[in-house]
Amino acid sequence: MNWESSIGTHEFWVRYSVSAPMAQRNAPPGPNFHETVDAAHRPTGPAFDTTIFRLFVPLIRSLIRSGSLAICYRDNPGIMVGDGDGDFCLMQVDKTRFLRRALAKPDLAVGEGYMEGEWRLRQGDLATFIGRLLSNQEALLQNPIFQALTALQHWLFDPHRRNEPSRSRRNAAHHYDLGNDLYAAFLDEGMNYSCAFFETPAQSLRDAQINKLRTSIRRLDIRSGMSVLDIGCGWGELTRRITQETDAGDVVGITLAERQYALARDRAAAVQSNRLTYRLEDYRDFAATNPERFDRIVSIGMFEHVGRHQFADYFGAIKRMLKPGGRALVHSIVRPAPGTTSPWIDRYIFPGGYIPHHKELTDSGVLAGLTLERPAFVHQSFHYANTLRHWRQRFNARNGSLDSKKYDARFRRMWNFYLAASEAAFDASGYYVAQALFRKEPL
C-alpha cells in the first residue's frame, strides 16, 4: 500500500475566523470566502510562530491548485486554498512544530504531524483530504522542470535499499509482527490482507475476499497431484482453500512473519491434511534448496515488499523453483507511472517496500527467463479503494477494544492515517492491482 504525500495551496488568502459560530465554521465556503486577508487578519501571537506561518504560506500557495480546502493555524484566521471544487475539508493546525516539519521535509510532515496530534481535520474525511493533496501533487509532477529535477534526485540518491534476507526479516517483523489482534480487528475472518475483488459495490468484504481467492486459484489451473507454493502466505487462507478446494498433492506456504506463521499453523490444524505445510523462511533461501519442485507458484500482496533492487532475485527464485511447464501467478499493487516510495510509508509502515509500475512487474519476470502467458489481469482502482474503506471503518469502529498500552493514541492515529492514505492512493492517484501469469518453458 504506497502513496506520495505533500502539502500545498492556492493563490488567495481569505477571512475565516475560527471564532465564528460552529455552524458557520463547518459550512462550505460562501461567496465572500475568497477575499484577500489584510494585515489586520494575519496570524497573531509570538513573533517566531507568526514568522513560521508566513514562511509556510508560499509553500501552500505553490502546491495546492484544485479542490476545496481551508487551513487554520491555532485560533487565528485561516486561508482557503484550491478552486472550490469537491467536498470541503477544514484542516486545523495546533502546533508550530508541524509548520517547521512542513518547511523542512514536506514529504514527511503531513503523516508525522497527524501521528503526533499537531494537526487534525475539523471537517471532512481524512482519505478525501489526503486525496486532495495527492491530486495536486500529480498535477505538479506533470511539470517538465519538476520531472527533470526529480529524475536528477533519483539518479544522485536512489532511496531504495537492497533487501538482503536479514533486512527482509526485520522489515516483515516491523509490520506483520505487531500483533494478530490488531489485524483481526479490521480484516475479514480469513485474515486476508490484500485487495478484495468486488462483484458489486455492495458485496460484503468477506464475500469479495473469497471471490479474490477463488479467482486466483482458477487462474492458476491447479490439477490433480500438483505441488503448489504460496510465497508470502500471510495467515494462510489461500493455502487452506487450495488444499480444500483442489486436488493438489502438496501445498506449501512460506512467510517471514513469526506471528503469521504461528496463526497459519494453528488454523491449518482444522484442515486436517498432511498435504499442507508452512515454513518460516526467506524465498531466496527456500529456492536454493527446492529447485524445480513446484508445478504452481502463487504470490499475493508480497511483491510490493521485495524492493526494486531485488526484482531479478525474486523472479529468478520463482524460475528456479518451478518445474518446466509450471506457472506462477504474481499479484501486486501497481502504480500508474514509475516512482519512489513515500518516505513516511518507508519509515513507519513498510520499510524497504516499493510499488512497481505495471511494466516493471511484467518485464522483470520476462527478463528472468519466464514467459508472460497473456496480458496481466487488471483490477481497477475501485477494488482496493473499497477494500481499504472497509478496513478503515472496521479499524475505527473496533480499535477501542485493542490494548491501549500496546496500541496507544499515537499508534492509532498513525494506523488510521496509513489506511486513509492508502485508500486515497487508489481513489486519487490511479493505483490499481494486477495479476501477472508467467510460465516456465519446457526444456
Tens-place pLDDT, residues 246-295 = 999 999 999 999 999 999 999 998 877 789 999 999 999 999 999 999 99
User: What is the DSSP secondary-structure string of 343-369?
Assistant: HHHHHHT-TT--PPBHHHHHHHHHHTT
380 Rama sector, left if φ>0, alpha if ψ -120 to 50, beta otherwise: beta
Round to whole Å and give the CA distance between 142 and 138.
7
Round to whole Å and give the CA distance between 333 and 327.
20
Could you tell me which residue, 52 or 99, shows the higher pLDDT? Answer: 99
User: What is the DSSP secondary-structure string of 134-188?
Assistant: HHHHHHHHT-HHHHHHHHHHHHH---PPP--HHHHHHHHHHHHTS-HHHHHHHS-
DSSP 8-state class, residue 399: G
Tens-place pLDDT, residues 143-190 = 454 445 455 445 444 555 667 788 888 888 889 889 999 999 999 999
Round to whole Å and give the CA distance between 327 and 346.
32
26 pLDDT band, cuts 50/70/90, is: very low
Cell numbers for 124: 471532512
Cβ-contact 187, 237 below 8 angstroms: no
- Contacts from 183-191 at CB under 8 Å and sequence distance 24+? 183/235, 185/394, 185/395, 185/398, 185/399, 185/401, 185/402, 186/391, 186/392, 186/394, 186/395, 186/398, 186/419, 187/391, 187/394, 190/235, 190/237, 191/234, 191/235, 191/237, 191/263
Q: Which range (2-11, 48-57, 270-279) has the least confidence? A: 2-11
Taking all residues of the chain, what is their mean pLDDT, rounded to a whole number?
84
Cβ-contact 245, 217 below 8 angstroms: yes
Angle separating helix axes 96-104 and 106-115, nearest 10 degrees: 150
Give the predicted TM-score (pTM) of the model. 0.84
DSSP 8-state class, residue 335: B
Round to whole Å and give the CA distance between 311 and 315.
6
* Helix, strand, coil percent values for the chain (each to nearest 5): 45, 15, 35
pLDDT score, position 55: 74
- Four-residue CA torsion sign, 181, 256, 346, 208: negative
Cell numbers for 376: 496481466
SS3 227: strand
SS3 262: helix
Structural domains of the chain in order of their starting residue, each with its CATH number: 22-153 (3.30.1050), 165-439 (3.40.50.150)
